[in-house]
């Protein structure tokens, strides 16, 4: 039996000959757009096959080479600042111990941005300390506009990018697509899992061909859930196809406070254990003069701290806290709070009947009142036949 494969998949197409001239049309990868070959399918003894090399990392446990990593998070929380931080370390060769990035020789980063201007990207990279001579924007115009469009095969703009990554004078380690969905050809429907897989496949080929990390950025949906699979919504197939998935989030407390933080961590890994999430502080810097139209600021991530739990566990904890805060207290919880409020500021002990009367006035029945009083305090008489008085245990006062 034989099987036809696309011409671009054959290693000799690039190793033994010149890089082909890219087709300028986006294309959709139909049979007319690819050449064919006839490799022979046969049973191959596993013990005699070449052993694949172990996974190589840019950031161990976070960003593998030759693979697709997806970074997903709520829109507007600053998740793009993570790739900026990573790019600054790659282009300067500096270590980032929190993300397990060792000191290395500097390398290049290729960026495709659809939501931020080239000026904003430049400002963020500058304040993060990146070497801008090693950052390349893949776009049509000098001002950063003119985004590429990618189909489901190595043709059109993908083939152009593939050829440029192979040129002399560029040493790429990372390609960032922010936001990936904006670059997908309109002929593909990402809600269709098969078409979504096809849209990701050329990125897998690109990552392996050039031994680079590919980081695809996407947004969560607006579902009220802590389940990361559900939060990925129509792009959930990314989680299945990608080797690594990173999740970025902000807690409700962070959103309400003046201090800005973003929590990021691996949510899925096919090649290593799941690392703990990191809590970054978002620092805003003045980078140009303020005007009526422009605050002149940009932001970067600093002070990473270990969350001591995975991002999935963290989201679950936040959801439970949110649910508990919104849940109406039970009669038992109400009784405990009423007792503490009544006893606060009073010299202890107080007449037991006064405590019971206070609880009854607030709708607490006798049994619930007695149970709550026994849980955090005790009643006793100073002498035989004397009225009982009530006092809180030391542990029951908070």
CATH number at residue 166: 3.40.50.300
Q: Is the pTM of this model over 0.85?
A: no
Question: Distance between CA 15 and CA 17 in Å, rounded?
Answer: 6
Question: Distance between CA 22 and CA 35 in Å, rounded?
Answer: 14
Beta partners for residue 264, in sequence order: 248, 278
pLDDT tens profile 331-355: 888 889 898 888 887 777 888 898 9
Closest CA to 126 of 177, 98, 93, 92: 92
Q: Where are the alpha helices (DSSP H) in the chain?
A: 12-15, 80-92, 118-128, 156-165, 193-210, 228-231, 237-241, 252-256, 311-326, 331-343, 352-361, 366-376
pLDDT recorded at residue 238: 67
pLDDT recorded at residue 235: 55
Which DSSP category does 292 fall into? S
Give the residue, 52 or 79, on which the prediction is more confident: 79
Report yes or no on 340 lying in a domain: yes
Domain boundary among 260, 291, 323: 323
Average pLDDT for the chain = 83
Domain boundary among 289, 323, 357: 323
pLDDT of residue 26 exceeding 70, the answer is no
Domain boundary among 303, 323, 343: 323
Share of the chain above pLDDT 90, in %: 43
pLDDT level of residue 324 (50, 70, 90 thresholds) = confident
Report yes or no on 13 lying in a domain: no
pLDDT of residue 92 exceeding 90, the answer is yes
Task: Kindly state whether residues 313 and 373 are assigned to the same domain.
Answer: no
Task: Kindly state whether residues 162 and 228 are assigned to the same domain.
Answer: yes
pLDDT recorded at residue 24: 42
Task: Kindly state whether residues 103 and 182 are assigned to the same domain.
Answer: yes
Question: Helices then strands (H, E): number in the chain?
Answer: 12, 16
Most confident of 36-40, 118-122, 193-197: 118-122
Domain that holds residue 215: 56-323
pLDDT of residue 105 exceeding 90, the answer is yes
Task: Kindly state whether residues 109 and 182 are assigned to the same domain.
Answer: yes
Beta partners for residue 2, in sequence order: 40
CATH number at residue 336: 1.10.10
pLDDT recorded at residue 38: 63
pLDDT tens profile 204-223: 999 999 999 999 998 875 54
Task: Kindly state whether residues 317 and 348 are assigned to the same domain.
Answer: no
Task: Kindly state whether residues 251 and 361 are assigned to the same domain.
Answer: no
Task: Kindly state whether residues 189 and 228 are assigned to the same domain.
Answer: yes
Report yes or no on 32 lying in a domain: no
Task: Kindly state whether residues 293 and 370 are assigned to the same domain.
Answer: no
pLDDT level of residue 227 (50, 70, 90 thresholds) = low
Q: Are 87 and 233 in contact (CB under 8 A)?
A: no
Report yes or no on 7 lying in a domain: no
Give the residue, 191 or 227, on which the prediction is more confident: 191
Number of domains in the chain: 2
pLDDT recorded at residue 221: 56
pLDDT recorded at residue 236: 58
């Amino acid at each position: 039996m034989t099987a036809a494969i696309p011409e671009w998949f054959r290693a000799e197409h690039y190793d033994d000959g010149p890089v082909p001239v890219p087709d300028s049309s986006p294309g959709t990868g139909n049979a007319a757009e690819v050449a064919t070959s006839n490799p022979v399918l046969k049973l191959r003894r596993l013990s005699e096959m070449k052993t694949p090399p172990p996974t190589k990392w840019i950031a161990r446990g976070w960003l593998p080479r030759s693979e697709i990593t997806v970074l997903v998070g709520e829109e507007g929380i600053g998740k793009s600042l993570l790739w900026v931080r990573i790019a600054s370390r790659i282009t300067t060769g500096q270590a980032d111990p929190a993300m397990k990035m060792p000191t290395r020789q500097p390398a290049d980063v290729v960026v495709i941005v659809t939501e931020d201007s080239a000026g904003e990207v430049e400002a963020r990279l500058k304040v993060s300390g990146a070497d801008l001579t090693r950052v390349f924007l893949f776009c049509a115009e000098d001002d950063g506009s003119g985004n590429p469009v990618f189909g489901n095969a190595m043709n059109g703009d993908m083939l152009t990018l593939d050829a440029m990554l192979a040129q002399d004078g560029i040493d790429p380690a990372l390609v960032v697509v922010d936001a990936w969905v904006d670059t997908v050809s309109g002929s593909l429907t990402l809600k269709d899992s098969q078409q979504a897989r096809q849209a990701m496949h050329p990125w897998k080929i690109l990552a392996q061909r050039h031994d680079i990390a590919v980081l695809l950025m996407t947004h969560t949906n607006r579902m009220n859930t802590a389940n990361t699979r559900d939060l990925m919504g129509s792009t959930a197939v990314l989680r299945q196809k990608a080797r690594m998935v990173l999740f970025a989030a902000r807690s409700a407390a962070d959103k309400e406070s003046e201090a800005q933080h973003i929590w990021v961590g691996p949510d899925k890994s096919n090649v290593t254990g799941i690392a703990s999430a990191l809590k970054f502080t978002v620092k805003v810097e003045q980078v140009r003069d303020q005007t009526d139209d422009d605050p002149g600021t940009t932001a970067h991530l600093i002070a990473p701290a270990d969350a001591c739990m995975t991002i999935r566990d963290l989201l679950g904890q936040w959801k439970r806290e949110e649910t508990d805060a919104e849940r109406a207290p039970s009669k038992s919880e109400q009784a405990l709070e009423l007792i503490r409020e009544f006893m606060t500021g009073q010299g202890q002990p107080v007449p037991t009947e006064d405590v019971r009367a206070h609880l009854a006035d607030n709708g607490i029945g006798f049994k619930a009142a007695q149970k709550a009083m026994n849980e955090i305090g005790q009643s006793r008489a100073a002498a035989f036949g004397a009225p009982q008085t009530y006092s809180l245990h030391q542990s029951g006062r908070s």
